[in-house]
Amino acid sequence: MHDLNYIHRDIKPDNIMMGLGENSNTVFLIDFGLTRLVIDPKTGKHIPFVGRKNLIGTCRYVSVNSHKGFELSRRDDLTTLGYVIINLIKGSLPWQGIKISKHSARYSKVGNFKEKYPIEKLCRGCPI
Protein backbone atom coordinates (compact mmCIF):
# COMPACT_ATOMS: atom_id res chain seq x y z
CA MET A 1 0.00 0.00 0.00
CA HIS A 2 2.74 2.43 0.95
CA ASP A 3 4.55 1.81 -2.35
CA LEU A 4 1.31 2.92 -4.03
CA ASN A 5 1.24 6.08 -1.82
CA TYR A 6 -1.67 4.95 0.33
CA ILE A 7 -1.95 4.55 4.08
CA HIS A 8 -4.45 2.15 5.63
CA ARG A 9 -5.14 4.04 8.90
CA ASP A 10 -6.98 1.12 10.55
CA ILE A 11 -4.53 -1.77 10.82
CA LYS A 12 -5.80 -4.20 13.45
CA PRO A 13 -6.13 -7.99 13.76
CA ASP A 14 -9.68 -7.85 12.35
CA ASN A 15 -8.30 -6.35 9.13
CA ILE A 16 -5.45 -8.81 8.61
CA MET A 17 -6.13 -12.08 6.80
CA MET A 18 -3.87 -15.00 5.92
CA GLY A 19 -4.13 -16.50 2.46
CA LEU A 20 -5.07 -20.11 1.78
CA GLY A 21 -3.52 -22.79 -0.43
CA GLU A 22 -0.89 -21.29 -2.74
CA ASN A 23 -1.29 -17.98 -0.89
CA SER A 24 -0.85 -19.45 2.61
CA ASN A 25 2.37 -17.43 3.08
CA THR A 26 0.71 -14.17 2.07
CA VAL A 27 -0.78 -11.62 4.45
CA PHE A 28 -3.72 -9.61 3.13
CA LEU A 29 -5.10 -6.34 4.46
CA ILE A 30 -8.85 -5.78 4.20
CA ASP A 31 -11.30 -2.95 5.00
CA PHE A 32 -10.04 0.09 3.16
CA GLY A 33 -12.74 2.42 4.49
CA LEU A 34 -10.21 4.73 6.18
CA THR A 35 -7.50 4.44 3.52
CA ARG A 36 -6.01 7.72 2.32
CA LEU A 37 -3.72 8.77 -0.51
CA VAL A 38 -0.64 10.50 0.97
CA ILE A 39 0.96 11.75 -2.24
CA ASP A 40 -1.05 14.16 -4.38
CA PRO A 41 -1.06 12.58 -7.87
CA LYS A 42 -1.22 16.01 -9.54
CA THR A 43 1.71 17.62 -7.71
CA GLY A 44 3.68 14.58 -6.53
CA LYS A 45 3.92 16.22 -3.11
CA HIS A 46 3.11 14.73 0.26
CA ILE A 47 -0.21 15.82 1.75
CA PRO A 48 0.24 18.79 4.10
CA PHE A 49 0.51 18.38 7.84
CA VAL A 50 -2.78 19.12 9.55
CA GLY A 51 -3.59 19.16 13.25
CA ARG A 52 -6.81 19.19 15.24
CA LYS A 53 -8.29 16.11 13.59
CA ASN A 54 -10.46 13.53 15.30
CA LEU A 55 -8.90 10.18 16.20
CA ILE A 56 -8.74 7.98 13.11
CA GLY A 57 -8.47 4.20 13.50
CA THR A 58 -8.99 1.85 16.41
CA CYS A 59 -8.03 3.45 19.74
CA ARG A 60 -6.23 0.35 21.03
CA TYR A 61 -3.78 0.32 18.11
CA VAL A 62 -3.44 3.86 16.72
CA SER A 63 -0.27 5.86 17.07
CA VAL A 64 0.15 8.71 19.54
CA ASN A 65 -0.05 11.05 16.51
CA SER A 66 -3.66 10.00 15.95
CA HIS A 67 -4.46 10.64 19.61
CA LYS A 68 -2.93 14.11 19.23
CA GLY A 69 -5.12 14.85 16.21
CA PHE A 70 -2.29 14.95 13.68
CA GLU A 71 -2.54 14.00 10.01
CA LEU A 72 -1.43 10.38 9.73
CA SER A 73 1.39 9.08 7.55
CA ARG A 74 3.09 5.81 6.63
CA ARG A 75 5.01 5.98 9.91
CA ASP A 76 1.72 5.79 11.80
CA ASP A 77 0.65 2.65 9.90
CA LEU A 78 3.97 1.07 10.97
CA THR A 79 3.52 2.13 14.60
CA THR A 80 0.02 0.67 14.53
CA LEU A 81 1.33 -2.58 13.04
CA GLY A 82 3.90 -2.71 15.85
CA TYR A 83 1.15 -2.42 18.46
CA VAL A 84 -0.81 -5.18 16.69
CA ILE A 85 2.21 -7.50 16.67
CA ILE A 86 2.93 -6.83 20.36
CA ASN A 87 -0.73 -7.47 21.18
CA LEU A 88 -0.66 -10.77 19.28
CA ILE A 89 2.54 -11.87 21.04
CA LYS A 90 1.60 -10.79 24.57
CA GLY A 91 -2.18 -11.20 24.42
CA SER A 92 -2.97 -7.61 25.36
CA LEU A 93 -1.65 -4.07 25.49
CA PRO A 94 -1.16 -2.21 28.79
CA TRP A 95 -3.70 0.49 27.98
CA GLN A 96 -6.55 -1.95 27.29
CA GLY A 97 -7.69 -1.74 30.90
CA ILE A 98 -8.47 1.98 30.78
CA LYS A 99 -12.24 2.26 31.26
CA ILE A 100 -13.86 5.65 30.71
CA SER A 101 -17.35 5.79 29.27
CA LYS A 102 -16.96 9.08 27.36
CA HIS A 103 -15.03 8.24 24.16
CA SER A 104 -13.15 11.53 23.85
CA ALA A 105 -11.90 11.33 27.46
CA ARG A 106 -10.86 7.69 26.99
CA TYR A 107 -9.02 8.50 23.74
CA SER A 108 -7.14 11.28 25.51
CA LYS A 109 -6.27 9.12 28.53
CA VAL A 110 -5.13 6.19 26.35
CA GLY A 111 -3.04 8.55 24.19
CA ASN A 112 -1.33 10.05 27.24
CA PHE A 113 -0.69 6.56 28.62
CA LYS A 114 0.84 5.37 25.31
CA GLU A 115 3.05 8.44 25.06
CA LYS A 116 4.49 7.95 28.55
CA TYR A 117 4.77 4.14 28.48
CA PRO A 118 8.41 3.09 27.95
CA ILE A 119 8.97 1.13 24.72
CA GLU A 120 11.38 -1.18 26.59
CA LYS A 121 8.60 -2.10 29.01
CA LEU A 122 6.04 -2.46 26.21
CA CYS A 123 8.30 -4.86 24.28
CA ARG A 124 9.49 -6.84 27.31
CA GLY A 125 8.98 -10.53 26.61
CA CYS A 126 8.81 -10.07 22.83
CA PRO A 127 11.33 -11.73 20.54
CA ILE A 128 14.24 -9.49 19.58
Active-site residue 14, yes or no? no
The candidate with the shortest Cα–Cα distance to 10, out of 57, 59, 72, is 57
Q: How far apart are the first and last CA of the chain?
A: 26
Q: CA 103, CA 42: separation in Å to the nearest integer?
A: 37
Q: Of 43, 22, 37, whose CA–CA distance to 73 is shortest? A: 37
**In this structure, which amino acid lies at residue 71?**
E
- Catalytic pick from 3, 10, 31, 77? 10
Residue 22, by phi and psi: left (phi above 0), alpha (psi -120 to 50) or beta? alpha
Gap between the Cα atoms of 52 and 71, Å rounded: 9
Residue numbers annotated as active site: 10
